Structure 1
Amino acid sequence: MTHVAVLVGSLRADSVNRQVAESLKAQAPAGVEVEIVDGLADVPFYNEDIDGAEVPASAAALRAQVGKADRVLVVTPEYNATMPAVLNNAIDWLSRPYGQGAIAGKPLGVVGVTPTPYGGKWAHEDTQKSAKIAGAIVVEDVTVSQTSIDVDVLNDPEVQGKLRGALDTLVAFAPETSAA
Structure 2
Amino acid sequence: MRVLGLAGSLRAGSHSARLLALAGSALPAGAELVTWSRLGELPLYDPDVDARETHPVVESLRDAIREADALVIVTPEYNASVSGVLKNAIDWASRPRATTALQSKPVAVVSQSPGQFGGLWAADDLKRILKITGARPLEEAVSVAQIDTVLPDGAPALQDEELHDALVAQLAALVEAAQTATVAA
Does the TM-score normalized on the shorter chain lie above 0.5? yes
2:162 is matched with: 158
1:144 is matched with: 142
Deviations 1:87-112 (A, max 9, x none): 10111011111131111111112112
Unaligned regions of 5+ residues in structure 1, if any?
none
Deviations 1:97-137 (A, max 9, x none): 11311111111121122111211000011111111111101
Q: Following the alignment from structure 2 to structure 1, what is the Cα–Cα distance between the partners of residues 10 and 91?
A: 17
- Name the aligned partner's letter for residue 176 of structure 2: A
Deviation at 1:147, TM superposition (A): 0.4
- After superposing on structure 2, the runs of 4+ consecutive aligned residues of structure 1 that deviate more than 6 Å are none
* Higher percent of residues as strand: 1
Alignment of 1:35-114 (within 5 A): 35-114=34-113
Give RMSD over aligned pairs.
1.8
* Higher percent of residues as helix: 2
- Name the aligned partner's letter for residue 166 of structure 1: Q
SS in structure 1 at match of 2:98: coil
2:114 is matched with: 115
SS in structure 1 at match of 2:6: strand
Between the aligned residues of both structures, percent identity stands at: 37
- TM-score of the superposition, structure 2-length normalised? 0.87
Unaligned regions of 5+ residues in structure 2, if any?
152-156
